[in-house]
Amino acid sequence: MPDDPLTSAPDIHRQLDQLYRQHSRQVLATLIRLLGSFELAEDALQEAFAQAARHWPQQGIPAQPLAWLISAGRFRTIDRLRKQKHETALPPREVEQLIESPETTGDEVITDDLLRLIFTCCHPGLGREAQLALTLREVCGLTTEQIASILLQKPATLAQRIVRAKRKIRDAAIPYEVPEQRELPERLQAVLQVIYLVFSEGYACSSGEQLLDVQLSAEAIRLARQLVQLLLATEAMGLLALLLLQDSRRETRLDAEGDLITLEQQDRSRWDQAQIHEGQAWLERALKQGHAGIYTLQAAIAALHAEAATPDATDWGQILGLYDHLHHQLPTAVVALNRAVALAMHRGPEAGLVALRALAAEGQLQDYHLFHAAVADLYRRNDQLDLAMQAYQQALALCEQEPERRYLKKRLEQCRFQQVRDDKRYQNKGLDR
């Protein structure tokens, strides 16, 4: 074991854990390219980190840890395939090709492999929901339950969809590569959506103790930059602008105790101005190219928030107009929910509640905690405390994110306190008479 305390076994295990959290998906992406199989690569990934946990405390951390992990996983898999050549499901010729194939694991190649993996998962031969589910599983490492929550699906349904998508990639021999320039447009929307969902999961994790996964958000921004370099499409620039503008608020979204700070309560002087300026620049480039799509419109909304020095200075009328355009292009229940909130901020809580009641009648968001949280907030702003508390309780029953749960509980207690205080005032007025 190394004598240097900086490379002691506990410290190495901590660094290895950090490597897994930050880079395991990049390692997996390269292993998928080298091994040609999701299943083999997933096993190789686990074996590589297990070998590192055994060897690094004695040998020290290698100079290129990612390349070491990839080599360890690949060679371990090849050794196993040699021994099980007649038992493996792979055709003998594929086993021989795999054993004889050269290894390429430079840093630039490893970085590119994640984008290759996204394009593979977003192949047009797969259905849209299969594309999203597979990419969130393989690129983000999310659990089936997390993906089901994001896509508002049942976990069992998602698990079957992921298995079928992997099988189709294998059986159809879908190439593991970034497609040629002429093929990019047909895959662009799926790739944009996946990168957006990757960022969203990092910006507000769907479950767990932490609200933010900074590495996941940063990875989405990096992938968006790569995509813009690859294809200077309007919506690619719009997406990059949106992610930068959203991420600029990251440091102000939680307090020192890790509790949620809402947009109107955030310290805007601490927003990352460099990210805001870069996001605005990409937004301007996107708008100059013509038609504004769904990501460019969302970036324009984020830019209006960034430009407002105070919450009261927010141009909610313009934001509402942008949501109208967004809902026309993307008529989903979640967009309608956000539009209703903007309507409430522009015309008052009752106007927003009317829109939310109409949305509730459609029944699409009854299992979505943010819908009930929005209803609760508008009832609270409208001094309808009984209804606000009922909605907060519904939101709490559905929420699996601890910082959000603490925020909802805090709001619920504030409503109860205000109701008791109002009741006492009413009673005292009666006595005065």
Burial (0-12, 13-18, 19+ Cβ within 10 Å), 269: exposed
Residue with the two structure tokens 């141009």 = 315
Q: Which residue has the higher pLDDT, 232 or 53?
A: 53
Q: How far apart, in Å, are the Cα atoms of 53 and each of 47, 71, 377?
A: 10, 15, 48
Residue 272 lies in a domain: no
pLDDT at 19: 87
pLDDT bracket for residue 334 (50, 70, 90) = very high
Two tokens, residue 353: 């509640």
pLDDT of 1 higher than 50? no
Residue 417 lies in a domain: no
User: What mean pLDDT do residues 286-294 have?
Assistant: 91
The CA distance from 380 to 373, in Å, is 10
pLDDT of 279 higher than 60? yes
pLDDT of 86 higher than 60? no
pLDDT at 281: 97
pLDDT of 287 higher than 60? yes
Residue 177 lies in a domain: no
User: What mean pLDDT do residues 248-267 have?
Assistant: 92
pLDDT of 432 higher than 70? no
pLDDT at 154: 86
pLDDT at 3: 40
User: What mean pLDDT do residues 242-252 have?
Assistant: 96
pLDDT of 91 higher than 90? no
The CA distance from 19 to 45, in Å, is 12
Residue 71 lies in a domain: yes
pLDDT at 81: 83
Q: What angle do CA 59, 62, 68 make, to 5 degrees?
A: 110
pLDDT at 305: 97
Mean confidence (pLDDT) of the chain: 85
pLDDT bracket for residue 372 (50, 70, 90) = very high
Residue 158 lies in a domain: no
Q: Give one DSSP letter per residue of 202-242, joined into a string.
A: HHS-SSBS-S--HHHHHHHHHHHHHHHHH---HHHHHHHHH
210-214, 224-228, 242-246: range with lowest mean pLDDT: 210-214
24-33, 283-292, 374-383: range with lowest mean pLDDT: 24-33
Q: Are 294 and 286 in contact (CB under 8 A)?
A: no
User: What mean pLDDT do residues 320-330 have?
Assistant: 97
Secondary structure letter of residue 3 according to DSSP: S
Residue 310 burial (CB count, 10 A): 8
The most confident of the ranges 7-11, 105-109, 164-168, 292-296 is: 292-296
Range of the domain at 38: 7-89
pLDDT bracket for residue 226 (50, 70, 90) = confident
Amino acid (one-letter) located at 268: R
Secondary structure letter of residue 2 according to DSSP: -
pLDDT at 101: 53
pLDDT at 152: 74
pLDDT at 352: 97
> pLDDT tens for residues 111-154?
578 778 888 888 888 888 888 888 888 877 778 887 887 777 88
87-101, 127-141, 388-402, 407-421: range with lowest mean pLDDT: 87-101
Two tokens, residue 101: 């194939």
Two tokens, residue 415: 């409503």
pLDDT bracket for residue 2 (50, 70, 90) = very low
pLDDT of 5 higher than 70? no
Amino acid (one-letter) located at 313: A
User: What mean pLDDT do residues 235-264 have?
Assistant: 94
Residue 150 lies in a domain: no
Q: Give one DSSP letter per residue of 306-323, joined into a string.
A: HH-SSGGG--HHHHHHHH
pLDDT at 143: 83
> pLDDT tens for residues 196-208?
988 888 887 766 6
Residue 347 lies in a domain: no
* Portion of the chain with pLDDT greater than 90, in percent: 45
> pLDDT tens for residues 28-81?
888 988 888 888 899 999 999 999 999 998 888 898 899 999 999 998 888 888
Number of structural domains the chain divides into: 1
pLDDT at 141: 79
Q: Which residue has the higher pLDDT, 260 or 109?
A: 260
133-142, 296-305, 325-334: range with lowest mean pLDDT: 133-142
User: What mean pLDDT do residues 407-430 have?
Assistant: 80
pLDDT of 162 higher than 70? yes
